[in-house]
Structure 1
Amino acid sequence: MEKRGYHHGNLRQALIEAALRLIEKNGPTGFSLSEAAKDAGVTPAAVYRHFAGREDLIAECARQGYQIFADLMEHAWNGGAPSALAAFGATGRAYLAFARRFPGHYVAMFESGISPNRSPDLAAAAGRAEQVILNATEALTRHIPEARRPPPRMVAAHIRAMSHGVVELYARAPGGAAPYTPEDLLESGMGIYLRGLGLLPPDT
């Protein structure tokens, strides 16, 4: 591959895209900055004009991922329309869709060990995505009598854990052994959980 050095049109973004490809292929610890530079077609020295090290590069992949994720979740939530319950289900489907469509970003965000608090920009992007899920949870649990209403953050954490589990076990592994689609697994799991909270009628 030809080395284009500092004449690369958008070196910083090219390195991010190279890192995303390598993360998807080898995991967040399975590549070096030199490999990212080679994939982007630039010299290794050029990387340090934009990133102090591999973790900085992965953190930027995560930041961009959180921005995309938040946009998708906001679109799915749609202000709670047509109903809080329907919109809540849409956010679950959006979670699965994001993991499938942006696997490199997903791994950088949730499996790299990079803390969302690593930088103010990363924290802000992660916070916006988390706020969408929290808003959806608050709107949905508002109908539970206050005396037995669980904390919305706890409910949001449960739903995120369920979504992440479905992604890890079945959505990102081609030819997974699940007898049902990831969408059906997540929808049924959420249904059981929401029935337990009294937000859905008993399954007859």
Structure 2
Amino acid sequence: MAKAGYHHGNLRQALVTASLDLIEKNGPQGFTLSEAAKAAGVTPAAVYRHFQGREDLLAEVARQGFEIFGDLMEHAWNGGAPSVLAGFEATGRAYLAFARRFPAHYMAMFESGLSLSAWPELSQTARRAQTPLLQGAEALAAAIPEHRRPPPAMFAAHIQALSHGIVELHTRNPANPRSPFAAEDLLESGIGIYLRGLGVIAPDG
């Protein structure tokens, strides 16, 4: 299949697809350019027609992941409808859903050690993917008195860190004992605690 794709001019995407399989099995640092070429059914020399090296290939995998991630986050945020809080919580669920559905993309995006600034298109796509979460943080932060209001970027980073931690500990780590709580429940309660602490939503009771 990979060779047929190559002969029809699809070598670039065939290499991305082969890399996704290798990343899912071995992690983003667990494969070589030669292994990706072999999996795609071409010689290592053919790879250099499209990529400067392994990191360049990995950056394209990450870029495509951020494209998918951004679409999911935009759909979840939905312009803050039916409410800002509902849209913000939906972005958290979308984060978990993406990590489950696209684990190799997720690893390339967040666990490969790539410097986004080294690939302008990757950096731009990553920024666009973060926009819905930042918009939600800005909208929610507006309800906080200015003297206690965290910068929206920090607000968004806190929620992303919480989401990423739940993914790592409870969604993709087979060595970790199964939590008695669903990942979505952990994230929802964590976001609730965070927002209550900021005074965005009222305390229980």
Query: TM class by shorter-chain length?
Result: over 0.9
Identical positions, percent? 70
Partner residue of 1:167? 167
Question: Matches of 2:82 and 2:36 in 1, distance apart?
Answer: 44
Q: How does 1:96-115 map to 2 (within 5 A)?
A: 96-115=96-115
CA RMSD of aligned residues (A): 1.7
For the 8 Å contact 2:66–2:129, the answer to whether it is kept is yes
For the 8 Å contact 1:4–1:43, the answer to whether it is kept is no
For the 8 Å contact 2:18–2:39, the answer to whether it is kept is yes
For the 8 Å contact 1:5–1:42, the answer to whether it is kept is no
- For each residue in 1:65-92, what CA deviation from the matched residue of structure 2 results, as whole angstroms up to 9, or x when unmatched? 1111111000000000000000000000
Runs (4 or more) in structure 1 with deviation over 6 Å come to none
Question: Matches of 1:81 and 1:176 in 2, distance apart?
Answer: 36
For the 8 Å contact 1:28–1:112, the answer to whether it is kept is yes
Structure 1 residues 129 and 5: CA distance shift in structure 2, 3 A? closer
Structure 1 residues 151 and 3: CA distance shift in structure 2, 3 A? closer
Partner residue of 1:71? 71
Structure 1 residues 201 and 2: CA distance shift in structure 2, 3 A? closer
TM-aligned CA deviation for residue 173 of structure 1: 2.7
Partner residue of 2:186? 185
Counterpart secondary structure, 2:114: coil
Partner residue of 2:204? 203
Counterpart secondary structure, 1:51: coil
- For each residue in 1:8-33, what CA deviation from the matched residue of structure 2 results, as whole angstroms up to 9, or x when unmatched? 54110010011011111101111111
Partner residue of 1:194? 195
Partner residue of 1:134? 134
Counterpart secondary structure, 1:136: helix
2:4 counterpart of 1:16: no
TM-aligned CA deviation for residue 149 of structure 1: 1.2
2:120 counterpart of 1:120: yes
For the 8 Å contact 2:60–2:122, the answer to whether it is kept is yes
Partner residue of 1:155? 155
Question: Matches of 2:105 and 2:31 in 1, distance apart?
Answer: 15
TM-aligned CA deviation for residue 60 of structure 1: 0.5
Partner residue of 1:38? 38
Structure 1 residues 199 and 5: CA distance shift in structure 2, 3 A? closer
TM-aligned CA deviation for residue 147 of structure 1: 2.1
Equivalenced residue count is 204
Counterpart secondary structure, 1:202: coil
